[in-house]
Amino acid sequence: MVQDIVEHAVVHYGEKTAMIDGEHALSFVEVNERSLRLAERLRDLGVQKGDAVAVQLPNSWEFAVAHLALARLGAIMVPVNLVYRQKELSFMFSFAHVKAVIAIDEWKGFDHAEMMESLRQTIQTLQHIIIVGERKRPDHYSFEEMLTGNGFSTDYGEVSPDDPMIMMFTSGTESDPKAVIHTYETFIPAHLHNGQEYGLTGDDVMLCLTPMSHMFSLPMILMGLYSGATQVMLSQFSVERVLDAFSQHGVTFCVAAPAHLIDILKGTDETKAYPSKLRLVLTGGTKIPPWMVESFRQRFRCSIVAQWGMTEIGAGSFTRPNDAPHFASDTVGRPCPTGEIGIFDENQKPLPNGQVGEIGFRGRSLFKGYYKNEAATQQFMTKDGFFLTGDLGWKDEEGYVHYVSRKKDIINRGGLKVHAAEIEEVLLSHPHIRQAAVIAVPDERLGERGCAIVSLKEGTTFSLEDMQQYLLEAGMAKYKLPEYLKIIDELPTTASGKVSKGMLRKQYAQMEVK
């Protein structure tokens, strides 16, 4: 349980630095005290065990403290990405019955506090808005001010392993909501085992470049506390900031999406030496380019761990630090210590090694189900308890998993999932558009980008700029916008009149722009 992990950290690591965030440096004792105080203030507001509390913050010590406080209180954390706007959050908050939200005041010129207030006017369950940064409204609460006073009584309330701990959305569509529920049992033990496999110790300095609202980085908070590692918080990514963190703080363990590593490679000189203490880089979230693995390993003289997973299962497989280097280029490793992976055909029958099929996972970290969507939960489960992931791959004779592609019609833009149907629905509402389809096209840096293919009504025009502006005005998050537009006379259709995406993918699959 979280309480045990934090107490373990206080006893064993005490005044050692637990988190570095700009000018802030917090010891393990201070992290414990701040999370206890926040838990108490939240309880004063009426937040109880089982209540849903959303968190929309950048990677920061505040995010980590909020995570710990909610877990100790028994509240359900609903972490949401900073790129989400009112359209997405309105559905998520209503569906999850969010009672309170902890949000940044503003981010990259956007007023998150004002957006949260607007949401509160329409969502009946949303009662409290807690702001990190400048509080502009008297009926909002200051995060900093909530850290004063006495701490939460450690013996108050009982949290059991099977209680819900986290709710994470993998789909924001009302027609088929997929809000993943993880309990304390499915979220904590398996990830602590993974931390041991990564070789995390009190000598490590960790840096997560992927958002902590994502399943890739969220477990790192507890892994770091348990192992006694120091965690460096970087609120915004840039190559310069990362290199500064490497040198200034002596980062030894880095979590990054392939897009981050490609940017670092392109932002550094292959003829220069970059001295660092970096020993291990953990990457995944989208297809991992082999050239990137080799280049990064050589330039920074570190090991690369290739990982495969998803919100429903956490880290399903990964290479180990002592694996031969080529495994991180060619595979996504072996199953995690507390899970197993099977490969299945279209009839859910197990396939032998070497044959491509759908990747299935079962184990301790498997989620408890989709909130209020039992039909979807059962749809993806085999009779033997394997969760069918929608990803295609195969296993070799040594047990290593080779990732091939995905079955689902989802664009994986640098680890952020974009549902094509959601964009198509808005495009089809445009007065000039007759047919619309959105497909993924390969991209060297992000893995995939979106391409919209449309046919127009006679006598009308439509441009890439028109499309992006229209989608933004409809409330679409910026990262979901297709970055390519193709206008053709007629989209191919099936006998039933549906657009044939298979034919479109074949035609435009080689659009990769490097």
- Homologous superfamily of the 410-508 domain (CATH): ANL, C-terminal domain (3.30.300.30)
Alpha carbons 152 and 65: distance in angstroms, whole number: 13
Task: With beta carbons less than 8 A apart as the criterion, state whether 80 and 87 touch.
Answer: no
User: Burial of 164 by CB count in 10 Å (0-12 exposed, 13-18 middle, 19+ buried)?
Assistant: buried
User: Burial of 241 by CB count in 10 Å (0-12 exposed, 13-18 middle, 19+ buried)?
Assistant: middle
Alpha carbons 313 and 389: distance in angstroms, whole number: 9
Task: With beta carbons less than 8 A apart as the criterion, state whether 66 and 76 touch.
Answer: no
Residue 143's Cα: distance from chain center in Å?
24
User: Could you read off the pLDDT of 127-183 as tens digits, one per residue?
Assistant: 999 999 999 999 999 999 999 887 766 545 689 999 999 999 985 455 556 899 999
Tokens 């992931």, residue located? 389
First to last CA, the chain: 46
Q: Provide CB contacts within 8 A for 485, sequence distance 6+.
A: 451, 452, 453, 454, 462, 463, 464, 467
The helix (run of H) or strand (run of E) holding residue 218 is: none
User: Burial of 253 by CB count in 10 Å (0-12 exposed, 13-18 middle, 19+ buried)?
Assistant: buried
pLDDT tens across the length of the chain (514 residues): 899 999 999 999 999 999 999 999 999 999 999 999 999 999 999 999 999 999 999 999 999 999 999 999 999 999 999 988 998 899 999 999 999 999 999 999 999 999 999 999 999 999 999 999 999 999 999 999 999 887 766 545 689 999 999 999 985 455 556 899 999 999 999 999 999 999 999 999 999 999 999 999 999 999 999 999 999 999 999 999 999 999 999 999 999 988 788 889 888 888 887 878 999 999 987 667 787 898 899 999 999 999 999 999 999 999 999 999 999 988 999 999 999 999 999 999 999 999 989 999 999 999 999 999 999 899 999 999 999 998 888 999 999 999 876 676 788 899 888 878 788 878 988 889 888 899 999 998 999 999 999 999 889 999 999 999 999 999 999 999 999 999 999 998 754 456 778 788 888 866 654 3
For residue 513, the model assigns a pLDDT of 45
Task: With beta carbons less than 8 A apart as the criterion, state whether 312 and 367 touch.
Answer: yes
Query: For 189-406, CATH number?
Result: 3.40.50.12780
Tokens 């569509």, residue located? 173
For residue 381, the model assigns a pLDDT of 95
Give the strand pairing for 230-232 and 17-21: parallel
Task: With beta carbons less than 8 A apart as the criterion, state whether 130 and 140 touch.
Answer: yes
**Residue 415: CB atoms within 10 Å:** 20
Beta bridge partners of 493: 499
Alpha carbons 84 and 356: distance in angstroms, whole number: 35
The pTM of the whole model exceeds 0.75: yes
User: Could you read off the pLDDT of 464-476 as tens digits, one per residue?
Assistant: 999 999 999 999 9
For residue 1, the model assigns a pLDDT of 85
> Phi, psi (5° rounding) for residue 367?
-60, 165
Using alpha carbons, list the distances in angstroms from residue 309 to 168, 223, 339, 361.
14, 17, 12, 10
Q: Where are the domains of the chain?
A: 2-183, 189-406, 410-508
Alpha carbons 389 and 405: distance in angstroms, whole number: 11
User: Burial of 360 by CB count in 10 Å (0-12 exposed, 13-18 middle, 19+ buried)?
Assistant: buried
**Residue 435: CB atoms within 10 Å:** 19
Identical fold between 2-183 and 410-508: no
Q: Provide CB contacts within 8 A for 132, sequence distance 6+.
A: 57, 60, 62, 102, 103, 104, 105, 143, 144
For residue 352, the model assigns a pLDDT of 96
For residue 511, the model assigns a pLDDT of 64
Alpha carbons 210 and 396: distance in angstroms, whole number: 30
For residue 287, the model assigns a pLDDT of 66
- Whether domain 2-183 has CATH 3.40.50.980: yes
For residue 514, the model assigns a pLDDT of 39
For residue 502, the model assigns a pLDDT of 78
